[in-house]
């Protein structure tokens, strides 16, 4: 299934957000030796099922729908933290939260 079809499937989007949340939690808890193995896992589990693409696209779509395209462009210019903060400020449903 290509990325565009994935984004349109609520079930597929939920799966990717859940995987993204798990990976982020593991990253926050990891230390030392764990970071090395986690780096490989992040690459494999984040890219193979297109997690980062789907989650990022859904986040961008929500920002644009709630705050408009100009706000979306400004958050992208502001970097990843601005993008994440702006997304969370849109009060996404819990299943699409990070």
CA distance 33 to 4: 37
* DSSP reduced 3-state for 1: coil
Look at 1 and 18; give whichever has higher pLDDT.
Answer: 18
pTM of the model as a whole = 0.80
Residue 32 has pLDDT above 60, yes or no: yes
Residue 74 has pLDDT above 90, yes or no: yes
């Amino acid at each position: 299934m290509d990325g565009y079809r994935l984004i349109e499937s609520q079930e597929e989007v939920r799966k990717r957000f859940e995987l993204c949340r798990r990976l982020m939690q593991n990253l926050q808890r990891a230390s030392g030796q764990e970071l090395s193995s986690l780096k490989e896992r992040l690459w494999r589990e984040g890219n193979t099922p297109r997690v980062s693409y789907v989650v990022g696209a859904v986040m961008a779509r929500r920002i644009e729908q709630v705050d408009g395209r100009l706000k979306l462009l400004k958050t992208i210019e502001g970097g990843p933290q601005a993008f994440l903060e702006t997304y969370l400020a849109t009060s996404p449903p819990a299943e699409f939260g990070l």
